[in-house]
Chains A and B, each alone.
Chain A
Amino acid sequence: MKVEDLRVWFPVRKGIIDSLLGRMDYVRAVDGISFDVEMGETFCLVGESGCGKTTTARAMMILVDRSDVKSGRILFRPHEEVIEEISRVQPNVVVDGEYVDVYKTRGRAEKLVRREVQIIFQDPFGSINPRMKIYDVVEEPLVVHGIGTREERVEAVAKALEAVKLTPPEDFMARYPHQLSGGQRQRVAIARALVLNPSMLLADEPVSMLDVSIRAEVLEVFNELKAKRGLSLIFITHDIALARYICDRIAVMYLGKIVEVARADEIVEKPLHPYTRALISAVPDVIPENRLKLRHVPIKGEVPSAIRIPAGCRFRPRCVAYDENEWVRGFCEREEPGLVEVKREHYAACWIPIERRFEGSLSIS
């Protein structure tokens, strides 16, 4: 999947007079991000609440209102057969013969895309209809897309439940969600996502609402799926430690923009952006002795509103590095740094590493 310069702005309700005069304010949830996810890769989007990661996920699932997608496009590369069919049904959305412009799809084409990309939500209690039996929940995608006969579907559901280690599947199929634990429900949600054999899975904070002791079992499922099925997985979390555990590559988001992208261990061991550094230092230390040490988290201030984004680098008001490095302040105040490859396969959006890398050879335009 390729995300190109995506901007998702939500309009803010103003008084009658203002809206009549056309003066609108926007919450700039996603303010121009681009990234690629390779086939079979596990890609993490990390950030605090309000940084836009959930909106990005929803945008990738075409769950955001088309009118709110102000610019950019999301290109998705499905299986061969799907591309063929889409080119028959809605040829104009096919880009370069391989990709589909997700937000341009309508009707049948849109549905075909949905078959290929599935999402697992954050809330295991809310994302499953409490009045439906587990069987019905997992079967639903098959019903919606009209796949298979009754027997075939039972087979498929059973297989999906086995894949998430809810065995024996027959036991679980007859139960209701309230009879399962949080971890089990989340696994049901994963099974539901798997039953259509999608090529890509999106997981939006799938374990944040689970007890810490249960997270392991769900993460195990993800790991196994990764290994066995070669799925592409986009994993969204606020927990950078978790991201390191499960992902190949990590992208850190702040206030609607990606501020750093790199391989997982690289970004955790050698973070370049001040924000990333702050996130990492905020991770609780497992080693008991260290718990008593006072930690210094290199960040100040509070998350600003996404309606009034600071000029220049948007992280500047909170940036400790800005305070410490007088020479870079000019850049930070005047212009927003773009995401630049400052090391091999390590991108950062901060003037400090950028200047250091391209010392002097970059000028502010």
Chain B
Amino acid sequence: MLERRREVREGLIRYLARSLRSNFKEVWAYNLGKMSMLIIGFMVLVSIYSLVSLPSDFPQMWKASDRPPWTLNPKQGYPVWVKYLGIPVAETVSYDNVRLQEARIVTPRGPGDFPPRDLDRIVPEYGRSLGIKTLTPIGYIEVYRVSYTSTSSVFPQDVVVILRAKASEGVNLTSISVVPMVFVTRPDGLVLYTFEGKYTLERLVSGVEVKMRCDLFATSYIRYYGLDATVDSVCTLLNRPVFGEPLDVKASDFKTVTGEYQITLALWYTGADPRAVERLISNGDVSVSTSIRVIGNSYGLLGTDTKGRDLFQGLLFGFPVALIIGFSVAFAIVAIGLVLGVISGYFGGRVDEVIQRLVDVIVNIPLLPLLILVGVAIQTGGWVGWPALTIIMAVLVAFSWGGTTIIVRSITLSIKAEPYVEAAKALGASTWRIVFRHIIPQIIPYATAVLVFSVPGAIIAEASLSVLGIDHGLPTWGRILADAQAERGVAYKMWWWVLPPGLMLGLFSFAFVALGFTLETIVEPRLRRR
């Protein structure tokens, strides 16, 4: 008995493999089929690429929209290539692991040497800059310098310095502190003191990102330009005073200062003997890596959203998600429909009646309102992320299998009436064998068409739910569009936000519907031939 089952299964697999290969060729024969297979092939490739290139916790990263790496990106950033379209942008430039330019122990030469002259030699910006310095660095100082060119009338958004410390065992991380001091030297010669802070090495081990601070230079800035404005009004958009000059006394508007900027980072190590620090660093027992990044207003292949998230990465992630969700749901629907349809059609009688009534009811239930209710309910209940999405998919499946069941049942009925089914019965074939060897192989082509048709449904439903406000937080095309809709005032002006995800949704849907139509055309004449 088992052997026979295995034989049946083997035969079925062999048959399926054979038919798959020949079906491929048949579909390819049609133009529509070619197109759809190319699109789907492309999507599969992109999905694979996305799965390997994106970090595995990308969904969580996306949800944490107020954390790095998004905080290091421009907000509402343009795609980088718009500059070729003639749109003025400020580029985002990153210097990773900036090379140490100079390091020295600065000590006062004598009692009146304050601030020490040596300091001026290594960090001349200290003396020349506008801004209140609360600390005077005396001790071991490292200096890093990078340059940035501003070419357009667009203001870069921020300057970020990223520090990360590594230390060997035994080093006392709490005793040594690092004071980063950031200076921006402008093309017009003005130097601004934009950051000052203090961090223990321990704190630096997990990484620190520091941005510009306005409060340090605001008052001096106002005095320098002779402005009739408050610190608050100047500091509301601090990238403007930094990268531009005021157009009027009220400082209501600024004009960019174009040219080469220099950003200087001075790292002052304090809390321990400078020589000890120097030794630790030269031994490699302590090392602080610095990256300096000027956040412009353009980033990435598809720009960024209002929180700085890379829309290209978001879009990329949407590919495998769409395929996986689409296929899982479609597969489940067709599997249930197939099983119930065959049972209903082949066995008839009361089972058939029951299943048919059930299908009747299910087919009449409006899916969207129910989905909305489920979505809202689970959101209130506190479920988000993958579990929420799975529940929604389950509800989708639970109410969509009706149509498939009806189709499968009618095909089963027509096959059942065929003489060869009776012939098989006559020679003693078991019900199992008849169903698996004679009936199901005939249904598979149609079932495949239904499967393909159902793939886009799931992701479109998910997108619709997201736009309505049911937030599962995971980056899908629908979710990206939903975020746009939520901030429609600004987002609708950002075509790179609204256009790509929708295009992908449409392409996805189109490809599968086209493939489904092709399959149907192939299957139809076969049915008619019978």
A residues bordering B, Cβ < 8 Å?
61, 63, 110-111, 114-115, 118-119, 121-123, 126-131, 136, 140-141, 143-146, 189, 192-193, 196
Contact = CB atoms under 8 A, between A and B. Distances in A.
A13 B7 CA distance: 41
A110 B422 CA distance: 16
B428 A145 contact: yes
Contact of A61 (B3, B419, B426, B441): B426
A151 to B, nearest CB: 15
Q: Which 7 pairs between the two chains have the least Cβ-Cβ distance?
A: A114-B428, A126-B419, A127-B419, A141-B427, A129-B420, A127-B423, A144-B429
A140 B442 CA distance: 17
Given A126-B418, A146-B3, A146-B4, A131 B442 contact: yes
A85 B48 CA distance: 60
A226 B316 CA distance: 72
Nearest to B530: A130
B428 A111 contact: yes
18 contacts: A63-B422, A63-B425, A110-B428, A114-B426, A114-B427, A114-B428, A118-B426, A127-B422, A129-B420, A130-B530, A131-B15, A140-B429, A140-B437, A144-B424, A144-B429, A144-B433, A146-B4, A196-B427
A189 B427 CA distance: 12
A141 B425 CA distance: 10
A141 B438 CA distance: 14
Contacts of A192: 423, 427
B420 A127 contact: yes
B419 A121 contact: yes
A130 B445 CA distance: 14
A140, A141, A192: which has the most chain B beta carbons within 10 Å?
Answer: A140
B430 A189 contact: no
A144 B428 contact: yes
Contacts, number: 59
Nearest to B19: A131
Contacts of A131: 15, 441-442
Given A131-B441, A146-B3, A146-B4, A140 B422 contact: no
Contacts of A130: 530
B428 A141 contact: yes
A193 B426 CA distance: 10
Given A136-B11, A143-B7, 7 more contacts: A114-B428, A118-B426, A118-B427, A119-B423, A129-B424, A144-B424, A144-B427
Contacts of B429: 140, 144
A121 B423 contact: yes
Interface in B1-24: 3-4, 7, 11, 15
Interface of B: 3-4, 7, 11, 15, 418-420, 422-430, 433, 437-438, 441-442, 530
A162 to B, nearest CB: 20
Contacts of B11: 136
Nearest to A128: B420
Contacts of A146: 3-4
B466 to A, nearest CB: 44
A291 to B, nearest CB: 35
B353 to A, nearest CB: 13
B426 A119 contact: yes
Given A144-B428, A144-B433, A189 B423 contact: yes
A126 B423 CA distance: 9
Nearest to A125: B419
A144 B428 CA distance: 7
B190 to A, nearest CB: 83
Nearest to A110: B428
Contacts of A128: 420, 423
A131 B23 CA distance: 14
Contacts of B419: 121-123, 126-127
A126 B420 CA distance: 6
Nearest to B420: A129
B12 to A, nearest CB: 12
Contacts of A111: 428
A161 to B, nearest CB: 17
Nearest to A120: B423
Contacts of B4: 143-144, 146
A11 to B, nearest CB: 13
B426 A63 contact: yes
Contacts of B422: 63, 121, 127
A146 B429 CA distance: 11
A110, A141, A192: which has the most chain B beta carbons within 10 Å?
Answer: A141
Contacts of B427: 114, 118, 140-141, 144, 192-193, 196
A66 to B, nearest CB: 14
Nearest to A122: B419
Contacts of A145: 428
Nearest to A131: B441
Contacts of B438: 129
Contacts of A141: 427-428
Contacts of B442: 131
B423, B441, B442: which has the most chain A beta carbons within 10 Å?
Answer: B423
A160 B425 CA distance: 20
B347 to A, nearest CB: 13
A287 to B, nearest CB: 37
A316 B441 CA distance: 50
A265 B429 CA distance: 39
A83 B481 CA distance: 75
A118 B427 CA distance: 7
A327 to B, nearest CB: 47
Contacts of B530: 130
Given A127-B419, A129-B438, A131-B441, A140 B426 contact: no
Contacts of B426: 61, 63, 114, 118-119
Contacts of A144: 4, 424, 427-430, 433
A146 B437 CA distance: 15
A123 B442 CA distance: 19
B412 to A, nearest CB: 15
A352 to B, nearest CB: 40
A215 B115 CA distance: 118
A209 to B, nearest CB: 11
Nearest to B7: A143
B58 to A, nearest CB: 45
A189 B3 CA distance: 26
Contacts of A129: 420, 424, 438
Nearest to B3: A146
A242 to B, nearest CB: 21
A137 to B, nearest CB: 9
A114 B530 CA distance: 28
A63 B434 CA distance: 14
Nearest to A57: B426
Contacts of B425: 63
Contacts of A118: 426-427
Nearest to B8: A143
Contacts of B418: 126
Given A126-B418, A126-B419, A146-B4, A140 B424 contact: yes
A131 B442 CA distance: 8
A129, A131, A192: which has the most chain B beta carbons within 10 Å?
Answer: A129
B419, B420, B430, B441: which has the most chain A beta carbons within 10 Å?
Answer: B420
B142 to A, nearest CB: 77
A215 B377 CA distance: 71
B2 to A, nearest CB: 11
A179 to B, nearest CB: 14
Contacts of A140: 424, 427, 429, 437
